[in-house]
Structure 1
Amino acid sequence: MSTDEAAMPARAVRSLPLAFAAGAAVGVLGGMIGLGGAEFRLPLLISLFGFTALAAVIVNKAMSLIVVLTALPARLAAVPLAELATHWTVAVNLLAGSLIGAWAGASWAVRMRPTTLYKVLAALMVGMAAALVLTHTATLSTLTLPGPAQTIAGAAAGFGIGVVAAIMGVAGGELLIPTIVLLYAVDIKTAGSLSLVVSLPTMLVAFARYSRDGSFAVLGANLRFVAVMAAGSITGALLGGLLLGVIPDLVLIPILAIVLLISAIKMARHT
């Protein structure tokens, strides 16, 4: 990536208040459905602030990491560490795949042609929209698998989630939570906390892989922008958490899914 590509886009330089507002809006949306909302932030980084695809992914990953680090203490207060420790095998099983997947996903992202990466991101956003609808409108039942099959399924699911999270720059909670519920019969509240335990090291691995590429310079050139938008995301997430349940899921989820689909169409057409 050239110096010009790594530098903060002119629109973002003049629009730090807009960056905070955009981050807050994303945080509110995520908070209202109990997630981080990074999948909504990614298209804004590209369409509103002018980042290229890979630069947007890396910036999104940095902000997702900040949001997860901020959310983890609050989740541990809601679900004590001692309770999470009883499910340590779940975290280890998923991490066995997600750490490898995160490294692989980041490696693929930095090697893709920009036009290919835009299309891949568009396809993943469609998948996120489908996962969002299924998770919040369908009843999640547990899959009864024998021990070895469950272990293999968990590692495979972790790998796929690690790849998606690395390529999109998200934490992966949208996929981790239903996976934990389906495969391990863990209640949704505990699954939310476990997803953070799994996503944090997974994001760090992807971050480490991105740091080996010249594209990582985008963070050094955009530290103030990242800090401002991340602060907006955290503020919005806190507000969104207070609004949780105010708008029925049957109304909110289809709207958010449509937003993702429209963003995916624009992403696929991006040049």
Structure 2
Amino acid sequence: MSLHHRSIQSFITGSLIGALAGLIGLGGAEFRLPVLVGMFKLPTLEAIILNKAMSLVVVTAALIFRTKQIPFDQQLAHYGITLNLLAGSLIGAWWAAGHAMTMSRVWLNRIIMVLLAGLSLVMLSEAWFDLHDGVTALFDAGPLRLAAGLVAGFGIGVVAALLGVAGGELLIPTIMLLYGLDIKLAGSLSLTVSLPTMLVGFARYTRSDAFAILRHEQTLFRWMVLGSILGAALGGLLLGLMPTGLLMTLLGFVLLISSIKTFQHAH
């Protein structure tokens, strides 16, 4: 594949993924990872690191774009929720990234396949059980909710580090169910949790030889990031044209199939 053709392909796939993810309020990293491994033939760890770098750029852009809907002062009013989840997610991201660098590629492929399949089931359950409606907090404010936030944050940090994702598909329903917030505010708070969590995992990966992928794949990185940001903006403009439940169902099945096909035959 020529460099020019590869650049066009990365821009188009980034745009499509960004648009579809933007329609449901995600960064799209969970869909970029199978593409990086399956279509562009990157080794798994290198694909995770490249996906993590892309996610940092896309999430930062999304956080800026969303300030028109959810101002920073409104997010700061719920700083306790952010700190609660961050206390667990930062530890989880650091721990998982360290283990990913020392783990055999075979086991890393298997674990990522399971995690992607799990994310697809999360998306399908959100679509079928309509978790986007308003909910009541699962626990009252107190030690029990604090402990639940730490555990949930740790698990989300692990997933974010191993997949190179922002974790919004897990953070948003967690914030809604655990703290009883609406989906728009939960989406913005998820980004404030995701950004530091991804930075910790990214910093951990700098110790790996696979980190050189950022230098070797600069062109792929630039074009796919540009496509992802433009696609996400387009997805935001098209919001409401397609039922969210139907879209999440389709994407859930796509993610499930692609995770199995991609990592079953990963080299």
TM class, shorter-length = over 0.9
Match of 1:64 in 2: 55
CA contact (8 A) 2:17 2:28 kept: yes
Amino acid in structure 1 at the alignment position of 2:69: A
Match of 1:99 in 2: 90
What is the DSSP-based 3-state SS (H/G/I as helix, E as strand, rest coil) of the residue aligned with 2:239?
A: coil
Match of 1:208 in 2: 203
Alignment of 1:39-118 (within 5 A): 39-118=30-109
Compared with structure 1, are the counterparts of its residues 92 and 37 closer, same or farther at alpha carbon in structure 2 (3 Å cutoff)?
same
Compare 110-119 and 17-26 and name the one that shifted more: 110-119
Alignment of 1:1-271 (within 5 A): 14-140=5-131, 141=135, 142-145=137-140, 147-270=142-265, 271=267
Q: Cα offset for 1:139?
A: 4.0
User: In structure 2, how many angstroms separate the alpha carbons of the residues matched to 1:18 and 1:153?
Assistant: 42
Amino acid in structure 1 at the alignment position of 2:58: V
Compare 22-31 and 134-143 and name the one that shifted more: 134-143
User: In structure 2, how many angstroms separate the alpha carbons of the residues matched to 1:190 and 1:84?
Assistant: 7
Amino acid in structure 2 at the alignment position of 1:85: L
Percent identity for Structure 1 against Structure 2: 50
Compared with structure 1, are the counterparts of its residues 11 and 183 closer, same or farther at alpha carbon in structure 2 (3 Å cutoff)?
farther
User: In structure 2, how many angstroms separate the alpha carbons of the residues matched to 1:12 and 1:162?
Assistant: 35
Root mean square deviation, CA, Å: 1.4
1:170-214 per-residue CA deviation (whole Å, 9 max, x = no partner) reads 000110011111111111111111001000000000000001111
TM-score (norm 2): 0.94
User: In structure 2, how many angstroms separate the alpha carbons of the residues matched to 1:20 and 1:76?
Assistant: 26
- In the alignment of these two chains, the number of paired residues is 262
Compared with structure 1, are the counterparts of its residues 258 and 139 closer, same or farther at alpha carbon in structure 2 (3 Å cutoff)?
closer
Amino acid in structure 2 at the alignment position of 1:172: G
CA contact (8 A) 2:127 2:249 kept: no
1:210-232 per-residue CA deviation (whole Å, 9 max, x = no partner) reads 01111111111112211111000
What is the DSSP-based 3-state SS (H/G/I as helix, E as strand, rest coil) of the residue aligned with 1:15?
A: helix
User: In structure 2, how many angstroms separate the alpha carbons of the residues matched to 1:223 and 1:261?
Assistant: 29
Match of 1:3 in 2: none
CA contact (8 A) 1:119 1:267 kept: no
1:24-56 per-residue CA deviation (whole Å, 9 max, x = no partner) reads 011011011111111111110011111010011
User: In structure 2, how many angstroms separate the alpha carbons of the residues matched to 1:25 and 1:269?
Assistant: 24
Q: Cα offset for 1:268?
A: 3.6
What is the DSSP-based 3-state SS (H/G/I as helix, E as strand, rest coil) of the residue aligned with 2:207?
A: coil
TM-score (norm 1): 0.93
Q: Cα offset for 1:77?
A: 2.0
User: In structure 2, how many angstroms separate the alpha carbons of the residues matched to 1:250 and 1:197?
Assistant: 25
